Structure 1
Amino acid sequence: MNDKQHTITAPVTVSGIGLHTGVVSNMTFKPAAINHGYKFQRIDLPGQPIVAADVENVVDLSRGTTIEQNGARVNTVEHTLAALVGLQIDNVLIELDGPEPPIMDGSSIEFVKALQSIGLQEQNALRNYFEIPKGLSYIDEARGVEIAALPLDDYRLTVMVDYNSPVLGSQHASITDINQFEKEIASCRTFVFLHELEMLYKQNLIKGGDLDNAIVIVDRVVQDDELTHLSALLKKQKVEVKKEGILNNTELRFKNEPARHKLLDLIGDLALIGRPIKGQILAARPGHAANIAFARKVKKMIHEASIKNVPTYDPKKKPVMDINQIAATLPHRYPFLLIDKIIHLDETTVTGVKNITMNEPFFQGHFPGNPVLPGVIQIEAMAQTGGILVLNTVENPDDYWTYFLGIDKCRFKRKVVPGDTIIFKCELLAPVKRGIAKMSGQAFVAGQLVMEAEMSASIVKKDA
């Protein structure tokens, strides 16, 4: 799995009819900034409103996942989002001149091909993974649905389906590496049972449905007069049933293509959590309603974890800035360059790391025999971390100095001693105005808050 965030190198457009609305639309994927995430924009509506791909914006689950925000609705988003997740693309604006993404062939493969045709661009920020911390489950006993997530330092999914159908039987599908998505999952098409077709048409759905973009499964004997009726319904000269129970001449791309498509849907629906996941997902008989209910449970878990506000640090991962890059940005030098790594940096937040060793020069005179990291050193290290954030808000940061102006609400919670790794997190309290930045800062050791403060700083051009 990628460590860094990615977007695409250039805009790319796909066009086609929407599955349920039957409206032809053009959908353009456009590059987006760090931490932008997935957002749809209805450019056909007044004001061109934006709809964030967020589980809280889900408003309908009638045979697909529909989201709505700012008075704009986007139908059937799951196949589009699955393609983005499968390619590990983090930041994209999806412009749409209609109410629904094109269904294409009923899978995600045409989106994958389009995105790959223009290529991906690595961005200078780490992916904001949510690592499932403990077992989590969703159960719908009435429908026999169960979805569970388990802790895992990877993203793996397994789906089992059983429709009591003599044609399908029981099927399962899985991927153990998200890089398998393109070849194993992306081309698997949506499917529907023959007995559902009439009902879906009566519900004003699948207006764009066609034998070219869906698999129709026939699990019972069909008389000639019904085939004639289906021909008229599907606007086909003739339809027939193959011996294995698939309407017309549709060949399955995989023996378990329906199960693989359910896995595709699950990946797309879970994208609405808003962050890439690390965990093992196990799903029995999933559908959009269950997927979204489960996604809401995961998002609630994320919210509960965020209350603790503890950044995570994996020393195996490449930092956003190493010590040489920090030294090239800040004017400080030994013995007063006090941060070793920057592990997260975006427009409003920065996270830095300092490893505490007994070799620090101040330990010679500060509590000899009982070494404790001085509070003023913690504050200065936090200020240097914040300095990286402030310099990130201007072009040509080498042309600027940052000066510490003030500190407020400073509290020291616990001792910091040699052997500790202290993690500093600073966040802008408001946009930088007239060269003045105000930040909140926190320091953590082993997941425990050790210090917090609010700081202000000025940013001044060197030749001013």
Structure 2
Amino acid sequence: MVKQTTIASEITLSGVGLHTGKEVTMTFKPAPINNGFTFVRVDLEGNPIIEADANYVVNTQRGTNLEKRGVMIQTPEHVLAAVVGCDLDNIVIELNSSELPIMDGSSKYFVEAIEKAGIVEQEAERKVYVIKDVITYTDEATGSEITVIPSDNYCVTAMVDFGTKVLGTQNATMKNISEFKTEIANCRTFSFLHELESLLNNGLIKGGDLNNAIVYVDKEISSETMNNLKKAFNKETISVKENGILDNLTLHHPNEAARHKLLDIVGDLSLIGIRIQGKIIANKPGHFVNTQFAKKLQKLIKIEERNQVPVYDLHKEPLMDIHQIMAILPHRPPFLFIDRILEMSDSHVVGLKNVTMNEPFFVGHFPDAPVMPGVIIVEAMAQTGGILVLSTVPDPENYLTFFMKIDNVKFKQKVLPGDTLVFKCDLITPIRRGICHMQANAYANGKLVAQAELMAQIAKKQ
């Protein structure tokens, strides 16, 4: 079992937002298990929390932007990439502004801060979604495409082609997340000269300078443009290197642009909210296609989790047979709807019913096309849960169980004669004063057939 992790102590960094030009102070703080990655705007009333969640993506122009209830988080992808690259599961990131600091345009300084704070294991198992099938998202307008295929670990390949001579076609691969810190983290963001002119003219990249972005010169620089660049970056002279980039920095890798696109993928896909075991292959990636893919994968994972069918050995000797069940439950045929208890703990119970054509309710419930009534399925789930709550008293034969509430009932599949129903009931809250609040699911034929939130109370027979 791989355990969840967080940082050992809090640590603070300061910098400038690339687009807003505002000074921002950011503090990494330890977070409890299952917290995930959350941002806290300490500059706003109530310190609102924004989770790193693909559902909150509202804009992907020149970065990924999140918004929850009117509260913005701008350009979090480099920080999120660092958090994933440092193998963290839980962290709180406090900010006194909407935009995260650009630093040098990479994840390098965030990784260094996390390593300085230290990493600790937590007492909970890490959640990982294992990719079993090929999943693809394509942006028809741009031809950008991201695919994930089964793999033994999380790895990413990014392929970029910007149609310019100065950059050409580049590829980058991360075979394991352990390579992020040394091979990907220091790769800086980049822009083309024609984009830079547009950004400056529109009042963006107020926090930019030649130290936090690689600028590829893809056009002839006019004297007017040169003067504008000198003014914008407060430089007396600006020149173009032989490799086609503006001066004042040196590339860390020949394919630094592709590696930075890979960095962005790692950050953007963290918005799925769960670790992925699979190989990501991205062709012409960008924040839009990255986050759309994250939304698609997140939705598929949630559907699968919601419909996930537990597997039990039905031939194994049960924990309780029908005679032991009748020693606990007051119900009797034809109103006893469970045949066996397969397993039970302090917080859950699993029961089974073999549905036969001889069930008395089939006589009147669509006799020409028999279907098990939904209310009977709910009652069977409740009887299964009744075993759990009655097992908490020394003399269950002296107690009765009564419904208090039934919520969120859903019927998803028909149950027919010949089906084997498996009921799984999990406590939502601990049993107190004989009150049991549980989530109940019923499965048959490898599918979820019904679910409900049930609340019941046991009372002593009068």
User: TM-score normalized by structure 1?
Assistant: 0.74
- Give the Cα separation in 1 of the matches to 2:433 and 2:112: 46
Alpha-carbon distance, 1:33 to partner: 1.3
Give identity over the alignment, percent: 44
**2:101: which partner in 1?**
102
- Kindly report which structure 2 residues correspond to 1:292-441, keeping only aligned pairs within 5 A, or say none: 292-310=291-309, 378=341, 381-386=343-348, 403=393, 406=401, 426-428=426-428, 436-441=435-440
What amino acid is aligned across from residue 268 of structure 1 in structure 2? G
Partner of 1:323: none
| Structure 1 residues 447 and 35: CA distance shift in structure 2, 3 A | farther
- CA–CA distance in structure 2, aligned partners of residues 73 and 269 of structure 1: 16
Deviation, 1:51, is 0.9
- Bigger-Rg structure (1/2): 2
8 A contact 1:49–1:70 mirrored in 2: no
Give 3-state SS (helix, strand or coil) of 1:378's partner: strand
Equivalent residue number for residue 380 of structure 2: none
Q: Counterparts in 2 of 1:48-197, with a 5 A limit?
A: 48-197=47-196
Tell me which residue corresponds to 2:35. 36
Cα deviations across residues 81-113 of structure 1 (Å, max 9, x unaligned)? 111111221111111111111111111111111
Please list the CA deviations of residues 130-163 of structure 1 after superposition, one character each: whole Å capped at 9, or x if unmatched. Answer: 2223222122233121111112232111110011
1:228/1:185 CA distance change after superposition, 3 Å: same
Letter in 2 for 1:426: D
Q: CA deviation at 1:21?
A: 1.0
State the Cα distance separating 1:358 from its structure 2 match. Answer: 5.7
Looking at structure 1, the residues matched to 452 and 345 of structure 2 have their Cα atoms a distance apart, in angstroms, of 10
Offset of residue 235 of structure 1: 1.8
Residues 427, 216 of structure 1: CA spacing in aligned structure 2 closer, same or farther, 3 A cutoff? farther
1:35 is displaced (CA, Å) by 1.1
Matched with 1:19 is 18
Which amino acid in 2 is paired with 1:195?
H
Q: Distance in 2 between matches of 1:138 and 1:103?
A: 29
Separation of aligned partners in 1, 2:96 and 2:191: 27
Q: How far did 1:49 drift?
A: 0.8
TM-score (norm 2): 0.75
Decide whether aligned partners of structure 1 residues 26 and 433 sit closer, same or farther in structure 2, where only a CA change above 3 A counts. farther
Report deviation, 1:276.
1.0
**SS of the residue 1:195 aligns to:** helix
Question: How much does 1:402 deviate?
Answer: 5.2
C-alpha contact (below 8 Å) 1:382/1:441 kept by paired residues: no
- Greater shift in the superposed pair: 4-13 or 282-291: 4-13
Give the conservation status (yes or no) of the 8 Å contact 1:138–1:147: yes
SS at match of 2:346: helix
> Aligned to 2:282, what secondary structure does the other structure show?
strand
1:295 and 1:452 map into 2 onto residues whose CA distance is: 28
Written as runs of structure 1 = structure 2, the 5 A alignment for 1:162-311 is 162-310=161-309
C-alpha contact 2:54 2:291 (8 A) present in aligned 1: yes
Q: What's the counterpart of residue 335 of structure 1?
A: none
| CA deviation vs aligned residue, 1:147-196 (integer Å, no higher than 9, x gap) | 11112232111110011121211000011111111111111100001111
Gaps spanning 5+ residues in structure 2: where? 325-336, 350-390, 458-462
Measure, in 1, the Cα distance between the counterparts of 2:119 and 2:444: 36
Contact 2:307 / 2:447 at 8 angstroms: preserved in 1? no
Whole-angstrom CA distance in 1 between matches of 2:450 and 2:232: 68
Q: Size of the alignment, in residue pairs?
A: 390
- Aligned-partner residue type, residue 112 of structure 2: K
Deviations 1:424-461 (A, max 9, x none): 66240x57766844122458799556998977799xxx
**Residue 327 of structure 1: aligned partner:** none
Distance in structure 2 (CA, Å) of the matches to 1:206 and 1:433: 57
Paired amino acid for 1:378: I
RMSD of aligned alpha carbons: 3.4
Separation in 2, partners of 1:361, 1:55: 43
C-alpha separation in 1, matches of 2:433 and 2:316? 41
Equivalent-residue separation in structure 1 for 2:444 and 2:186 (angstroms): 46
Task: Measure the CA separation in 2 of the matches of 1:206 and 1:402.
Answer: 64
5+ residue gaps, structure 1, are: 314-353, 367-373, 388-400, 417-421, 459-464
